[in-house]
Amino acid sequence: MIKKVEFAVPPHIKKFIEGTYDVTDKGFVKVEKRSELGRLIEFVERVDPYPKKYKADANLPVLKIQYYDESYSTYFPIDKIKEFCNLLDAEFRRALVCEVRSVHEYSRVEDYTPFVRRFLDRYGIIPDVDIEMETARKVYRDYLVKISRNFHKNFS
């Protein structure tokens, strides 16, 4: 049975998920069961014969997800949407760090802003509109601080 769920997310998360997964002609993100997002959905689902409707926030864009599930009585719970959005944000941050790190370590350039901008451009995320450029840079900067702290802790 093909199920659909819609919920509000920040614009950069919506563009990142739509750039990562297939989008149908009706605007739904088609999620396979074995993908990371499909496993998250399967983990969050609950059994309830009377599912509740979710009302999306009018200020944020709506992410529409379509997935396959064998059970008729499972649904995506409303109370888990915030945690699910946090997991999507963590996936965005992980992808940004992995891509920027792979280029920044070998370039030996001090400024990593062009690498962050290239990542955002790949997914069609507009800096300072969808996400502040300083926020995107801070994601990678926090990673560098964490790695530096662990390095000094291990070799001090």
Taking only the tens of pLDDT, the chain with its 156 residues reads 888 888 889 999 999 999 999 898 888 999 998 888 888 888 888 887 676 666 666 678 888 888 888 877 788 888 888 898 999 999 999 999 999 999 988 888 889 999 999 999 999 999 999 999 999 999 999 999 998 887 777 665
Q: Whole-angstrom Cα distance, residue 26 to residue 64?
A: 9
Q: Considering only CA atoms, which of 36, 34, 29, 33 is closest in space to residue 7? A: 29
Q: Considering only CA atoms, which of 19, 8, 11, 10 is closest in space to residue 64? A: 8
Q: Whole-angstrom Cα distance, residue 64 to residue 66?
A: 7
Residues 6+ positions from 106 with CB-CB distance below 8 Å: none
Whole-structure pTM value:
0.85
Eight-class DSSP state of 127: B
